Amino acid sequence: MSTQPDLLYSEEEEALRAAVRDLLTDHCDPAGVIARTESDTPHDSEAWKALADGMGLAGLLVPEAKGGQGATHREAAVVLEELGRAVAPVPYLTSAVVATEALLACEGVDDLLADLASGRRIGALAVALNVAPGGAYKVVRHENGALHGELTAIADATAADVLLVPADDGGLYAVDAGAATVTPQVSLDLTRPVATVTFDGAAGRLLGDAEPAVRRALRAGAGLLASEQLGLADWALTDTVRYLKDRKQFNRPVGGFQALKHRLAQLWLEVVNLRAAARNAVDALANGESGEEGAVAVAVAQAYAASVAVHAAEEALQLHAGIGMTWEHPIHLYLKRAKADAIAYGTAGAHRAALAELVDLQAP
Amino acid sequence: MTDATELKRRTAELLAAHPPATTDRMDFLKARFDAGLAWVHYPEGLGGLGAPRSLQAVVDAELEAAGAPDNDPRRIGIGLGMAAPTILKYGTEEQKQRFLGPLWVGEEVWCQLFSEPGAGSDLAALGARAVREGDDWVVNGQKVWTSSAHLARWAILIARTDPDVPKHQGITYFLCDMTDPGVEVRPLRQITGEAEFNEVFLTDVRIPDAHRLGEVGDGWRVAQTTLNNERVAIGGMRLPREGGMIGPVSRTWRERPALRTHDLHQRLLKLWVEAEVARLTGERLRQQLVVGQPGPEGAGMKLAFARLNQEISGLEVELLGEEGLLYDDWTMRRPELVDFTGRDAGYRYLRSKGNSIEGGTSEVLLNIVAERVLGLPSEPRTDKDVAWKDLAR
């Protein structure tokens, strides 16, 4: 058993939250995000620049000696809560967390790490978004020093400058996005689209062993995803409460009807629970709990978070009723993100299966 | 300034003057109370030192390490958790001096005479009548769900002193002597077979006006202090992983593979995760309290534990298969302590049904969260301006 986790937010973390929220209020208004989803550039490069260049947030997980900020998963989680609250179309989780963690598991890649940490380049791990930590993933063929093959459901690949690609020789390779063919797939989640990546004799630079790098990257991705789901759920609850205080039917605010109040109170309880689970997971990651305790903390958070985020988005839609069903209202962006997040980095069921092993509650 | 160092010094002084090994338990507890180390956040002379509440842990740890006796807080929970904070806030100097010491050391057990057969969730509709006669109040009525009434020396009591005003305004708060000949305590047998609770019949019980707590007609406000502390007490237990209801069923799962099915496995894992998350939420709430930022999460803890206790114990009965058809013992008993996870799965299943009723039903708690935490409008009130005597019943 580890020592007691710190489940609160520090003053610095709250200050960071306020700064990110301000930035996103300026850059990621709902109408702008909706319009962008149907443009040629679904990712918001302005917002990304402001976060990475302006605030240096892409390098939170990278040590200062390697060009980063030398912060921890606790701070990155606060950023992700705010990005979730805004369903911001920026490759933060995929580049500043997942790709960065993969690089941190390799030796002699300081140049790439520094590029990602500064936000000069965006990285994407070429593993399908639905793969759970420890799950099986597809690899490409490595032949005569070149890569061949096709990988699907690669999140944020269309925004990436460099792809981190696992190959059949057990190596992880860095490939310039220009050397691969990246084809957007029509994605359920409009603000974190996936793409097909095809390699036809692309040159790759060997970074190290794929297995430990991918495992580490996916575990961090899964653990930090819970904070994004928390931010998303918190937005859905807060916005729905606000709307139901305002919306009047039968000569009363709709939020005064007990049937709806109980549903919102129930949802509040779920969000409160998710906050504790998410903080527990990122505190374990920040303390480098790479063993069983860290794995349990991440699996517990991911076994719980998806149902809360999806429930929050679904309740938001139902309780907004007609307006919630329209394309112009942003709820659909949250619902689509929540549902895709429920699959990302392993479903709740996959994480429960992992827990069955970790805490010795074996299947029949 | 009473800081941790000063408290340690005073604790060492107490231990030196009254070595636990050679001091009578009650003598030690009284000496501890007089030294201000009983509840350090209480005022001097009333068992405390006016120190921050968070420093109590310092004293407790020192005393535990020295093998000192405690005041068996589980036996006197109602006194410590509900009567004491209310007496401290609203009591006269005489009342505080008279009652807090014997309460804390456990010489005098307390019970709570609030709920009535006709006033459950709508507690303010209560009908037990108190009528002024000279220096006394004469009380008649029936109270219910009273734990410890058969052991109690004193009770906190709310009764109606003015039926002609709206229900919240005509209530007064009293400290009732349970040895009064007009007090009759009858066990109330519950679905588990045992009787944790009592019905209490009050017939011409005489309470001196000196035992009134707060102003006449101000009893509802005084009772809020009691009720707020009750919910803190119910939701605030600290647990290790698998420390609650999920513990026994997890152990059975591990030890008896023959009972396992795929359906039960999925349900168990889901509940295990929810129990662990609820435990973490409780831990987060405690961390907020320590740094002096009590969050509204407390209101939700009781809701979560009630549902989880019920679902987990229900799963456990199913897991046991043939054994789930049995029950350990239906004999009528009167337990002194209540242990939700005690006895067998059938008991746990039945007892946990009360978790969503006692100390505020889950439905009422959801209203409280919706209105006080989320700020949603309250239901239209039809009883606010109606005299109590004219309410529908």
Task: With beta carbons under 8 A apart, name residues in chain B contacting A272.
Answer: 281, 297, 300
Burial class (CB in 10 A: 0-12, 13-18, 19+), B326: exposed
Average pLDDT over residues B183-203: 96
* pLDDT at site B234: 43
pLDDT of residue B54: 79
Question: What are the backbone angles phi and psi of residue B270, rounded to the nearest 5°?
Answer: -65, -45
Residues 6+ apart with CB under 8 A from A206: A171, A172, A173
Residue A190 burial class via C-beta count within 10 angstroms: exposed 0-12, middle 13-18, buried 19 and up: buried
CA distance B20 to B310: 42
What's the average model confidence in pLDDT over B341-351?
91
Of residues B262, B273, B280, nearest to A355 (C-beta): B273
**Architecture of the domain spanning A125-209:** Beta Barrel (2.40)
pLDDT of residue B6: 94
pLDDT on residue B233: 46
Task: Kindly state the percentage of chain B with pLDDT values over 70.
Answer: 96
- The gap from C-alpha A70 to its chain's centroid, in whole angstroms, comes to 20
Backbone φ and ψ of A139, nearest 5°: -125, 165
Partner residue opposite A244 with nearest CB, options B254, B376, B380: B376
φ/ψ of B293, rounded to 5, equals -125, 70
Per residue in B249-284, pLDDT (tens digit) is 999 999 999 999 999 999 999 999 999 999 999 999
Residue B142: count of CB within 10 angstroms of its CB: 16
Residue B27 has pLDDT above 70, yes or no: yes
The enclosing H or E element of A326 equals none
Predicted confidence at residue B138, as pLDDT, reads 98
| Candidate list B116, B196, B230, B297, residue with the active-site label | B230
Q: In which band, very low, low, confident or very high, does the pLDDT at B123 lie, cut at 50, 70 and 90? A: very high
CA–CA min distance A303, chain B (Å): 7
The pLDDT assigned to B259 comes to 97
At residue B295, the pLDDT reads: 66
Chain B residues in contact with A357 by the CB 8 A cut-off are: none
Contacts of A82 (CB under 8 A, 6+ apart): A17, A20, A21, A24, A88, A231
Q: How far is A261 from chain B (nearest CA, A)?
A: 6
- Among chain A residues, CA nearest to B256: A364
In chain A, which stretches have pLDDT less than 70?
1-3
B31 pLDDT above the threshold of 50: yes
* ipTM of this predicted structure: 0.95
Dihedral angle over CA of B32, B38, B42, B43, nearest 10: 0
Shortest distance between the Cα of A277 and any Cα of chain B, in A, equals: 6
Res. B230: pLDDT tops 80: no
- Nearest-angstrom CA–CA distance, A194 and A341: 12
In what order do the strands lie in the sheet containing A141-143? A141-143, A146-155, A194-203, A181-184
3-state secondary structure chain B: CCCHHHHHHHHHHHHHHCCHHHCCHHHHHHHHHHCCCCCCCCCECCCECCCCHHHHHHHHHHHHHCCCCCCCCCCCHHHHHHHHHHHHHHCCHHHHHHHHHHHHHCCCCEEEECCECCECCCHHHCCCEEEEECCEEEEEEEEECCCCCCCCCEEEEEEECCCCCEHHHCEEEEEEECCCCCEEEEEECCCCCCCCEEEEEEEEEEEEHHHEECCCCCHHHHHHHHHHHHHHHHHCCCCCCCCCCHHHHHHHHHHCHHHCCHHHHHHHHHHHHHHHHHHHHHHHHHHHHHCCCCCCHHHHHHHHHHHHHHHHHHHHHHHCHHHHHCCCCCCCCCCCCCCCCCCCHHHHHHHHHHHHCCCCCHHHHHHHHHHHHCCCCCCCCCCCCCEHHHCCC
Please state the rounded mean pLDDT for residues B121-140. 97
* CA B123, chain centre distance (Å): 16
H or E stretch covering A292:
helix A292-320
Return the domain boundaries, chain A: 125-209, 212-358
Cross-strand partners of A143: A146
A162 pairs with which residues across the strands? A123, A176
| B257: nearest CA partner in chain A | A364
Domain extent listing, chain B: 4-70, 110-217, 236-360
The answer to whether residue B57 neighbours chain A at the CB level (below 8 Å) is no
Using CA atoms, how far residue A77 sits from A50, A190, A222, B272, in Å, is 18, 22, 11, 25
Structure tokens at A45: 């490069």
Q: Can you tell me the mean pLDDT for B37-57? A: 93
Please state, as a whole number, how many other Cβ atoms lie within 10 Å of the Cβ of residue B224.
11
How many contacts (CB atoms, under 8 Å) link A and B? 126
Instruction: Tell me the residue type at B235.
Output: G
Q: What integer best gives the mean pLDDT of chain B? A: 93
How, if at all, do strands A162-166 and A146-155 pair? unpaired
Which run of H or of E encompasses A346?
none
CB interface of B with A, residues 277-296, below 8 Å:
277-278, 280-281, 283-284, 287-288, 291
| Cross-chain residue pair A262–B375, CB shorter than 8 Å | no
Q: Which pLDDT band, with edges at 50, 70 and 90, does B189 fall under?
A: very high
Q: Are B312 and A36 in contact (CB under 8 A)?
A: no
Phi-psi region for residue A329, left (φ > 0), alpha (ψ -120 to 50) or beta? beta
Contact A265 B373 (CB under 8 A): yes
Give B149→chain A minimum CA distance, Å. 34
How near does any CA of chain A get to the CA of B253, in Å? Answer: 7
Span B110-217: which CATH code? 2.40.110.10
Query: What are the tens digits of pLDDT across the range B78-94?
Result: 999 999 999 999 999 99
Look at the domain B236-360 and name its fold: Butyryl-CoA Dehydrogenase, subunit A; domain 3 (1.20.140)
Give the domain A212-358 fold. Butyryl-CoA Dehydrogenase, subunit A; domain 3 (1.20.140)
pLDDT at site B1: 59
DSSP structure string for A293-305: HHHHHHHHHHHHH
| B199 part of the active site | no
List of chain B residues whose C-beta atoms are within 8 Å of the C-beta of residue A264: 370, 374, 376
| Residues within 8 A of A (CB atoms), B 144-173 only | none
Nearest to B273 among A261, A303, A360 (CB): A303
Q: State how far the alpha carbon of B238 is from the alpha carbons of A231, A275, B61, B281, B354, in Å.
A: 27, 18, 16, 11, 20
